[in-house]
Amino acid sequence: MTIVYNLFFLIFSLFLTYIFLFRVVLIRTGLIYIVKKKCSSIEDWFHVYQFFKVPEFNESMQRNQLYHKVLLYLNSLTSIEDSDFTNLFTGKKSNEIVLHLDPNQILEDEFLGAKFFWINEENTLVLKIRKADKRRVLRPYLQHIHMVSDDFDEKKRELKLYVNVVDKHDDRKGRWRSVPFTHPSTFETLAMESDLKEKVKSDLYSFLKAKHYYHRLGRVWKRSYLLYGPSGTGKSSFIAAMAKFLSYDVYDIDLSKVYDDSDLKFLLLQSTTKSLIVIEDLDRYFSEKSTAVSLSEILSIMDGILTSSCGEERVMVFTMNGKDLVDPVILRPGRIDVHLHFPLCNFTAFKTLANSYLGLKDHKLFPQVEEIFQNGASLSPAEISELMIANRNSPSRALKTVINALQSDGDGREALNIRRRSVEEIGEPSGAFCKGINAGKEFKKLYGLLRVKACRKYQSFDLIGRQNEG
Ligand SMILES: Nc1ncnc2c1ncn2[C@@H]1O[C@H](COP(=O)(O)OP(=O)(O)OP(=O)(O)O)[C@@H](O)[C@H]1O
Ligand SMILES: [Mg+2]
């Protein structure tokens, strides 16, 4: 009996050792993955599966928000590391690496004891789930995805800049290309009057909160801005600051790459809510006739006819160098909610730039700079900041270079600018961002004393009224 017992024990030990060694060999050689794959395909024979597709676009070519959420969720799963192909990207921090699912990969997930398989097909995510589990877990699983991705979105939200491209295959689905939006400009870094900055911020903030107010009025929940002023005065930087403040993605429409009016509609339909729709240099497109888009189409975007059908919660921003070259119908009061003027640098803006670029709050050369500004010379903030950056190691040299540049290149520019503006401002409801000699007056004109008059006349500026109600 003892012999039989010992023999059995010996065989059992040998068997265990064999299993152990076999496992070690499988793991060491990587054959374990082949075995696992075979086992799961054998297991598949005993189950009936059901498939659910999550396409990127719906039948009207609008983006499917669920697709975005599922993708975000899948990219956050640790099992993504086990798929055969995974894309590696740097994250927000330089030492951070993020993983993104590669097309045609299968990702496995578990929830409430059930297994889910996600297949990343072109423009579609396919969910494979056992029929037996479907009733019990599908709904809770989708809710779980919603919750996790919303949470993830809040914490990790990386703003995106979308640009429209010309697609050789005429594939309308793929007209937007996105990159992370990392423009460093914020309202804090912009040299503009601080009171005006606060008013713009509060305008944007109250817009965010005013969904019900807009709907009660039967208005599309959108806000539009016209930024106009010479080159290098901060219009694009201001757009970046707005996007960051609102935490909105930016859709920068290049009108020269839009085929026709219906193409513009498609592009807008494919943009998502909570976004800034930007059309820069509007005056240039129309004066150079470099766009196939008609003026009436632009007007209908401005009036919100298109935006109402492709979701709301959008801020539209148009920029131009001057108002002279555009059709006055674009500037018709009430069409664009807020007009902001970006002037060349004045002494106040210069001091802000000197503080941020050179760390100077005051300097013995400041009175000389002030005098030059008072004589009507000016440069754009871009030109002045470039000179400051180039000479940042020696503030005195930087100031002298700015003085020289103002004396040689900046002569009379601001004077011209002020002259032109004072003509524009007659009967003008919305000259806002003006930092020249009339800055205080013009500021009041927009947000204060003259606001009531302007509202009655044009209904363009409803800031205070809306804040109260919204
Ligand atoms: N008001 C400002 N405050 C701080 N920096 C500014 C300001 N205006 C311009 N700059 C600097 O100048 C650079 C160019 O500015 P930006 O591109 O915003 O000008 P723009 O008005 O959009 O010019 P353009 O009409 O040529 O597109 C920015 O990188 C920014 O650093
Ligand atoms: Mg610009």
Q: Which of 156, 190, 216 is the last residue of a domain?
A: 156
The number of the ligand nearest the C-alpha atom of 322 reads: 1
pLDDT in tens, the chain (470 residues): 677 788 888 888 888 888 888 777 777 777 777 777 787 778 777 778 899 999 988 887 777 889 988 988 888 888 787 777 888 887 766 677 777 778 888 888 988 888 899 998 888 999 999 988 888 899 999 999 988 888 777 666 678 999 998 876 666 566 888 898 888 899 988 998 888 888 898 888 888 877 777 777 777 778 899 999 999 999 999 999 999 988 899 999 999 999 888 888 888 888 888 889 999 999 988 888 888 888 888 888 888 765 555 556 789 999 999 888 788 888 888 789 899 999 999 999 999 999 989 999 999 999 999 999 998 888 999 999 999 999 999 999 999 999 999 988 765 454 444 333 433 332 233 333 333 323 333 333 333 222 223 333 323 333 322 333 33
57 and 146 together in one domain: yes
The answer to whether the CB of 382 is under 6 A from ligand 1 is: yes
Final residue belonging to a domain, choices 108, 124, 156: 156
Q: Same structural domain for residues 288 and 226?
A: yes
Q: Is the CB of 190 under 6 A from ligand 1?
A: yes
Mutate to test the pocket of ligand 1, among 242, 355, 356, 385 (most ligand atoms within 8 A of CB): 385
Mark whether 143 and 256 lie in a shared domain: no
| 330 and 248 together in one domain | yes
Residue 293 forms part of a structural domain: yes
Distance of alpha carbon 404 from alpha carbon 30, whole angstroms: 71
299 HSE (CA, 13 A, CB side): 12
Say if residue 236 is in the same domain as residue 335.
yes
Same domain as 409, residue 453: no
Residues 329 and 378 in one domain: no
Which CATH number covers residue 453?
Answer: 3.40.50.300
Is the CB of 232 inside a 6 Å radius of any atom of ligand 1?
A: yes
Q: Are residues 320 and 457 in the same domain?
A: yes
In a domain, 18, yes or no: no
Residue 346 CB less than 6 A away from ligand 1: no
Distance of CA 435 from the midpoint of ligand 1 (Å): 15
Residue 88 Cα distances to 77, 102, 180, 334, 459, angstroms: 14, 10, 15, 48, 51
Collapsed DSSP state (helix, strand, coil) of residue 97: strand
- Expressed in angstroms and rounded, the spacing between residue 341 Cα and the centre of ligand 1 is 13
115 and 253 within one domain: no
Whether residue 215 sits in one domain with residue 281: yes
Per DSSP, the residues of 328-346 read HHHH-TTTSSEEEE-PPP-
| Domain match, 339 and 353 both | no
The answer to whether residue 264 is domain-embedded is: yes
Is 352 near ligand 1, meaning CB less than 6 Å away?
A: no
CB 290 within 8 A of CB 253: no
Residues 456 and 402 in one domain: no
**Ligand 1, atom 24: closest residue by C-alpha:** 231
Pick the last residue of a domain from 121, 156, 191.
156
- Calculate how far, in angstroms, residue 28's C-alpha sits from the geometric centre of ligand 2: 57
Distance 185 CA to ligand 2 centre (A): 12
Number of domains in the chain: 3
In a domain, 210, yes or no: yes
Pocket test for ligand 1, best of 183, 190, 194, 236 (most atoms within 8 A of CB): 236
* Residue 168 domain-assigned (yes or no): no
Structural domain that includes position 290: 178-343+433-469
Q: How far is the CA of 231 from the centre of ligand 1 (A)?
A: 7
For the chain, the helix, strand and coil percentages under 3-state DSSP, each to the nearest 5: 50, 15, 35
Q: What is the ipTM of this complex?
A: 0.98
